[in-house]
Amino acid sequence: MTDERPKTAYELAMERLARKDQDAGGASRPLTDAQKAAIAEARQLHQSRVAEREILHQAALRKASSHEEVDQLNEALRRDMDRLAGDRDRKIAQIRGEKVSQAE
């Protein structure tokens, strides 16, 4: 007897992505254990850098003396978070063997 339960939104999204990859000519290759470990390490490194940056941001906010300074600190945090996320995504794409563009 087959599983007749409705598919979750996650399962539907994954199917759409798989079809999109196949239509674009991308071959679906399973990741090796070494690639999985390297991706997990890249994500862990990203999380630790984000946590470090947030701690530094909170310390700087406590010392801020004006709304303008707070706004500048928040903008700097946003830029750093975007940069860290981009670094992580590029590293993961590189591990997967995908073409990495530098213009992101």
Query: Is residue 88 one of the residues assigned to a domain?
Result: yes
Please state the pTM of the whole predicted model: 0.67
Q: What's the pLDDT tens digit per position in 55-87?
A: 999 999 999 999 999 999 999 999 999 999 999
Counted domains in the chain: 1
Mean pLDDT of the chain: 87
Per the domain annotation, does 9 fall within a domain?
A: no
Tell me if 51 is assigned to some domain: yes
**Is 50 a domain residue?**
yes
Say if residues 46 and 53 touch (Cβ distance below 8 Å): no
C-alpha 25: how far from its chain's center? Answer: 24
In a domain? residue 7: no
Q: Is position 16 within any domain? A: no
Residues 6+ positions from 90 with CB-CB distance below 8 Å: 100, 104
Instruction: Please check whether residue 104 is in contact with residue 90, taking contact to mean a CB–CB distance below 8 angstroms.
Output: yes
Domain that holds residue 47: 32-104
Strand residue runs (E) in the chain: none
Is 11 among the domain residues? no
Tokens of 100: 């990495």
Q: CA angle, 93 as apex, 87 and 95 as ends, to 5°?
A: 100
